[in-house]
Amino acid sequence: MTVSFIPCCKKNSPSRWCEGWLNIQSFVLLLVLLLLSAMAQAEGIQIKSFSLAAVDRHYEMSVDSEIVLNATLEQALEKGIVLYFVTKFSLVDSRWYWLNDEVVRGKSRIGLRYYALTRQYHLNFPEFSQSFNTLREALQALGQLRKYSLTVKSDLKQDIEYIASLRIWLDLTRMPKPFQVEALGSNEWNLSSDRLEWRMKLPLPEQPFHLKGR
């Protein structure tokens, strides 16, 4: 007598197999989306912290930020294009009976350039320049603005709240015209931090103001 064994498949086996395959596909798709999201977040400008101090009858600000360039901007650097980054802080007296009055302003512009001959990156500050061997080192220094003097435009009061705002961005107006045209409508050239805005009173000499970026 010959005995043969025939595999027995339940009716719902194909559906279970399909469900398992769909779960795998969903998991892979989720990993891809997370990877793309992480890459997108890695590029850009993020403000980490801000401080404002009263020093000898004037005010100084310090800003810590993280700046990461995308491939397009790195290629522009390698071609000899100078990238100018602007940090702008302002205090505004918001009066209900009149137009807003900007009472304090600080605007710093720093140029980042790559020299192919020496294979070094240079930061051009208003008062001096500094060289770095790697782009990472240059960007790290670029994101650290220390004790920058602010311009006081109007009389200040210690007992009222002002509206403060802070933003850092890539200044496309300083780039050559052909690159400005190319940058129009392109996200690859739009590098900027979020605009931070809050209410604050002026700091006292013994009590500086500190803010953590979001």
Residue pair 167/18 in contact (Cβ under 8 Å)? The answer is no
Q: How far is Cα 148 from Cα 146, in angstroms, rounded to an integer? A: 6
Three-state DSSP state, 9: coil
pTM of the entire predicted model: 0.77
Per-residue pLDDT of 31-60, as tens digits, reads 434 444 444 445 799 999 999 999 988 999
**Side-chain half-sphere exposure of 87, counting CA atoms within 13 A:** 27
Question: Would you state the pLDDT for residue 74?
Answer: 96
What residues of the chain score a pLDDT lower than 70?
A: 1-42, 96-99, 185, 214
Rounded distance between C-alpha atoms, residue 18 and residue 14, angstroms = 6
pLDDT recorded at residue 17: 57
Query: pLDDT at position 101, please?
Result: 85
Counting residues of the chain whose pLDDT is more than 70, the rounded percentage is 78
Positive/negative CA dihedral, 88, 73, 191, 31: negative
The residue ranges of every structural domain in the chain are: 19-212
| 3 state SS for 35-82 | HHHHHHHHCEEEEEEEEEEEECCEEEEEEEEEEECCHHHHHHHHCCCC
Which pair of tokens denotes residue 79?
A: 């071609």
Work out the burial of residue 188: count CB atoms within 10 Å of its CB; fewer than 13 is exposed, 13-18 middle, 19 or more buried.
Answer: middle
Predicted confidence at residue 81, as pLDDT, reads 93
